[in-house]
Amino acid sequence: MTENSFVLLGNIIYSENKDTLKIFENSYAVCVDGVSKGVFAVLPDEYKSLPLIDRKDCIIIPGMTDLHVHAPQYGFRSVGMDCELLEWLEAHAFPEESKYADTEYAKKAYALFVNDMRSGFTTRACMFGTMHVNGTLELMQLLENSGLKTMVGKVNMDRNSPEYLCEENAEKSAEATLEWLEKSKKFKNTKPIITPRFIPSCTDELMEKLGKIIKEQNLPVQSHLSENPSEIAWVSELCPWSTSYGDAYRHFGMMNNKTIMAHCVHLPEEEIAMLKENGAFVAHCPESNMNIASGISPVCRLLAEDINVGIGSDVAGGTTLSLPKAMALAIQCSKIYWRYIDKKYGYLNLENAFFMATKGGGKFFGKVGSFEDGYEFDALVLDDKSIATYVDFTLKERLERLIYLGTKHNIKNKFVNGVQLF
């Protein structure tokens, strides 16, 4: 056994499935070599020699996964919230991202982002960098040093982008991607993910080249799908040969169980079937969908269809890295969708939202997001004493209050793959 073998004592909660929480009062979560051995009411003899961390007044939950976040946009979050997507990109996102050509700027800006993510609820994340190789490597190095487990993408874009943020051509973009992939091999906890920004910013030639790289190196991919009506109409003009936005990605080999598609707000039946058939992941980004007027994703239907769904903060469309806030907003948005759009699938409850933020999104990283036997041991120890009350709550109610009222200051300890970050 190694130093990342220990026992946590406390009130333990994790998702059994999207509809059910497992709740254990005053119980033991066992970690051996960074992997969970399960939760026990009475500690088995074979684990009694392990170091015991007593947190019996606290709530212990799995770490949370942010399936979609733009690291270079962190510095201007909450700006431009009166714009729709395409206008917002041109006015705010693109000018800021261009600054990351300066490696020193990238290093300083990314340090703020990484420090805040490390101190929060997120233990795993999939994120966009920029098109710049060196800037993206700086982000990866900072994340590697943080102890978090992440996937990072060097963004690809060779058309319909400002001259100052547009790669010369498909060949140059692919070459830069291969350079970045080679230099990324040194990282252990920070892995590359192929990242075409979205169909409008990538020529068919570039998408073909990226698809070839994905196949040859068996890499995951992340992008955006059916976020905004104007974007969708644009894709149909740019790819008249495709039957849908999703079909364009599928054509280039980017629709499988190693795919994350962010937003998925305006999905035709074809895309819903495609996501399910191919085992792709949806990153649900409720705050961003509202802030830049995209709409509300039919997330309850996606869950009912057994499509893989996780939560994304989508900074800077979203204003915060707080996944509990994203969970609360997901629940609230789903109620509006249910009330005014479609009552067939109901609305999200606490169980659903908690699942998406932990086990549902964590699945993209493998056996992550649970304390079941064999899962990588990511954990948050939450102290809710600062949330004032005179009411005697159940453990589930205490968890709900932490989701709606908690901040990173309620995090007493944080573990990633058995390593204690603080």
Question: Do 264 and 196 sit in the same domain of this protein?
Answer: yes
Residue 266 located in a structural domain:
yes
User: What value does the mean pLDDT of the chain take?
Assistant: 97
Number of domains present in the structure of the chain: 2
* 1 within some domain: no
355 in any annotated domain: yes
Query: What mean pLDDT do residues 147-158 have?
Result: 98
The answer to whether residues 286 and 244 belong to one domain is: yes
> What's the CA dihedral at 15, 17, 23, 27 to 10 degrees?
-70
Please check whether residues 207 and 291 belong to one and the same domain.
Answer: yes
85 is in which domain, residue-wise? Answer: 67-365
What would the mean pLDDT of 14-31 be, rounded to a whole number? 98
Does 181 lie in the same domain as 198? Answer: yes
- Note the pLDDT of residue 3: 79
* Same-domain pairing of 299 and 383: no
Angle 226-229-232 from CA coordinates, rounded to 5°: 50
Residues 174 and 268 in one domain: yes
Are residue 190 and residue 316 in the same domain, yes or no? yes
At 176, is the pLDDT very low, low, confident or very high (cuts 50, 70, 90)?
A: very high
Q: Does 237 share its domain with 165?
A: yes
Q: Does residue 134 form part of some domain? A: yes
Looking at the fold, whether 275 and 342 belong to one and the same domain comes out as: yes
Query: Which among 347, 365, 383 is the end of a domain?
Result: 365
What is the CATH classification number for the domain harbouring 388? Answer: 2.30.40.10
Percent of the chain with pLDDT over 70: 100
Residue 20 counted as domain residue: yes
pLDDT category at 1 given cuts 50, 70, 90 is low
Is 276 part of any domain?
A: yes
CATH of the domain at 117: 3.20.20.140
In a domain, 262, yes or no: yes
- Whether 2 has a pLDDT exceeding 80, the answer reads no
Give 387's pLDDT tier (boundaries 50, 70, 90). very high
399 lies in some domain: yes
Identify the band that residue 89 occupies on the pLDDT scale cut at 50, 70 and 90.
very high
98 and 56 inside one domain? no
Average pLDDT of span 291-307: 97
Same domain, 75 and 187: yes
Looking at the fold, whether 242 and 195 belong to one and the same domain comes out as yes
Over residues 184-235, the pLDDT tens digits come to: 999 999 999 999 999 999 999 999 999 999 999 999 999 999 999 999 999 9
